[in-house]
Amino acid sequence: MSIHPTAIIEEGAQLGADCVVHAYAIIRKYAVLDAGVIVHPFAVVGGDPQFLKFDAATQSTVRVGAGTVIRESVTINRSIYADKTTAVGERCFIMAGSHVGHDCVVANDVVLANNVMLAGHVEVGKNAFIGGGSGIHQFVRIGEGAMVGGAGRITRDVAPFLMVAERDEVSGLNLVGLKRRGFSREIIAEIKECYRRVFFVGGDPREHAAAALSAGVKTAEARRFLEFFAGGKRGFVRPAYQRGSGCGHGE
């Protein structure tokens, strides 16, 4: 473990083996850092949530998974609920100036580029990439392997493996990401077919996804894509050709 001069580690914080905390970083007493986490200058991990009714006496936490890198001036806020946790997974890369709001759940191998803003209760699936300056509305879900373009304004759920940009606009599948993860041609072909079944027609994507599931899929990845549409509170992002049509919101 390496704690640089002027770093602040509050009593009660828990740091695993081989953690590195650089100068001027602050690890609050509510933080748990697993092995090998690196925290760069001016980051604050475990700070109070930005919630007007929050009681500072609430005992809640932030947990950061092994091998995650937290760059300069990142803030990760603890939960607003007693005995609950804001969670960041393993091997994540949280770039400078990003904010992870209270009660977020960020899965393994996620990248948040510079100045990403996650509001409270956001869920980000494994291997997702969120481009610099993007703002994610509270309670939004970003599915696994999704990619959000820089300066995106995301107010609705993003299904797994999609690329989105601007305001809630789907631009297609993240095919480069799928190939980099080693997905087979069979898997990618079935995800493409499921994408067409959900988005190439108007109406409620929940219904289209349920129908596709009922018809049967061969791969676990395609099933995860379709099952995503059964949950959530925010409706769904949609392709540009459906914008203004009243379709694709899941409402």
102 part of the active site: yes
Q: What does each C-alpha distance from 206 to 169, 239, 241 come to in angstroms? A: 17, 15, 18
Instruction: Say how far apart CA 73 and CA 95 lie, in whole Å.
Output: 9
- Residue 67: name the closest of 89, 36, 98 by CA: 36
Tokens at residue 137, please?
A: 């509305």
Q: Is 237 helix (H, G, I), strand (E, B) or coil?
A: coil
* Total Cβ atoms within 10 A of residue 67: 18
Catalytic residue among 46, 47, 65, 120: 120
83 part of the active site: no
- Residue 74: name the closest of 45, 110, 53, 104 by CA: 45
**Residue 36 DSSP class:** T
Catalytic residue among 102, 121, 137, 208: 102
120 part of the active site: yes
Q: What does each C-alpha distance from 34 to 6, 7, 246 come to in angstroms? A: 21, 18, 45
Catalytic residue among 46, 47, 89, 103: 103
Helix (H) or strand (E) holding 173: strand 169-173
β-strand pairing of 169-173 with 162-165: antiparallel
Q: What does each C-alpha distance from 44 to 3, 4, 112, 245 come to in angstroms? A: 15, 15, 16, 43
Tell me the catalytic residues: 102-103, 120
